[in-house]
Amino acid sequence: MILALGGGLVVVALGGFGFIYFVLFPTSSPKPFSLSTSRVAVPVSSSTELAGRWTVAAGSVAGYRVREKLAFLPAESDAVGRTSAITGAAALAVSGSTVTVKAASFSVDVTKLKSNETMRDQHIRTLGIQSATYPTATFVLSSPVTFPAGALSGKVFDTSVTGVFRIHGTSKTETVRVQTRLSSAELAAVGSLTFPWSEFNMTAPSVGGFVSVTNRATMEFDLLLKHG
C-alpha cells in the first residue's frame, strides 16, 4: 500500500508539472515573421514617387522569442512576446531606378510586450530585458541601404541592414538580413536578430529554478511603413 501510494504521488506530481507547463506555458507559439511570397506583386509605376519620408504604420509588430524549459521535463518551447507600440520612420532617396534608404530609426515600447501568459509578462519587467528599468529598445540605421534592381517589381527580396541596436540600455552595431517588399503604397520589412543574452548585458531569466530559458534570445520585427 505504501509503494502504491508513493507511486500515485509521483504520478500526481508529474501530472501537476505537466499541467503547469502545458497550460501556463503552452508549447504552441506564434511562428516567426515572414513576408508571404504568394501575395500578388504590385510593381512601382514610377520610382520618383518613392522619395521622401516613410513612417511606421498600423500592422507593425516587434518582439522577442526565446527557448523556454520547465525543470524536470524534457520538452522545450518558444516563449514569444510581441507589441505594436512602435514608432519611427525611414527616408528614401531615388536616382533613376535606384532606391536607397538614407536614414531610418525605430523605437519599441517594451513595457507593452505581451505573450500568452500574464505571469511571464510580469517577470520580464524585472528579469531578462527588465522592461521596468529599460522601457524602450531602439534601432538606428548606420549606413545607407541600396535596394537591388528588381525591387521595383513589387516582389519580396532580401537585403542586409547594418545599424545600432539599443536593448537593455546597451548599444551594439549589428548586421541583419531583412526580407523586404516595396510598392508605391507601402514598404514591408521582416527580420530578426539572435544574440547571447550577455551581448546586451542581460542575464537569461530563471524563475526559482523552475522555469529557465536557453542562453540565446531573438529580437524579431515585422514593419510596415507608409509614405508621408
Number of domains in the chain: 1
CATH of the domain at 186: 2.40.128.110
Residue 180 included in any domain? yes
Residue 59 included in any domain? yes
Residue 2 included in any domain? no
Which residue range(s) make up the domain with 81?
30-227
Residue 6 included in any domain? no
The pLDDT of 99-123, averaged and rounded, is 95
Residue 52 included in any domain? yes
Report if pTM > 0.85: no
Residue 25 included in any domain? no
Q: Return the C-alpha cell found at 134.
A: 529599460
In this predicted model, what pLDDT tens digit does every residue of 27-83 receive, in sequence order? 568 899 998 765 666 788 777 889 999 999 999 999 999 998 766 555 578 899 999
Residue 23 included in any domain? no
In this predicted model, what pLDDT tens digit does every residue of 165-196 receive, in sequence order? 999 999 999 999 999 999 888 999 999 999 99
pLDDT for position 68? 83
Residue 9 included in any domain? no
